[in-house]
Amino acid sequence: MNLLIILVTYILMEGLTWLIHKYIMHGFLWILHRDHHDHSHEGNLERNDWFFVIFAVPTIILLYYGVQAGLNYVFYIGLGIFLYGMSYFFVHDIFIHQRMHLFRHTRNPYLLAIRRAHKQHHKHLSKEDGECFGFLWVPVKYFRMYFNKQ
């Protein structure tokens, strides 16, 4: 049952991420997200990196109270969110944006589709007219680009 809670939470995070990205990050918190699109920041950190803290706080709270309650469902919800956040960090920051120069070359169609969809998202420098707000779920047209090549 606990594994199911983690899995469902992880899957639901993709939809929540899409909503947060489209309506909050490209909405009233564009002030924090803008430098991720226009590269107006100086140094290695972006204002956009504050979202790491913003999303980590409720996760830590859920994990803490879940542990205090004897590893109840709250802990496993927090764990599902944590695992999604780690996936996001590794795929988005390390693989896509190459903040660490690892996994630069891949032939994996799924990873190539994720990278292409994210590139399409970043072609828009303003908060309007965006596309591909999700993270792990990529529109079918990007999958077709890479699966048809094999």
The pLDDT tens digits for 70-129 are 999 999 999 999 999 999 888 888 888 777 766 678 888 888 898 888 888 888 778 887
Closest CA to 91 of 62, 114, 117: 114
- Per residue, what are the HEC states of 21-43? HHHHHHHHCHHHHHHHHHCCCCC
34-119-148 Cα angle (round to 5): 160
- Return the pLDDT at 115: 87
* 3-state SS assignment for residue 120: helix
Q: Which residues contact 87 (CB under 8 A, 6 or more apart)?
A: 10, 136
Lowest mean pLDDT among 18-32, 33-47, 98-112, 116-130: 98-112
CA angle (84 as vertex; 119, 24 as ends), nearest 5 = 60
Residue 15's pLDDT band (cuts 50, 70, 90)? very high
Most confidently modeled of 35-39, 43-47, 49-53, 80-84? 80-84
Q: pLDDT averaged over the chain? A: 89
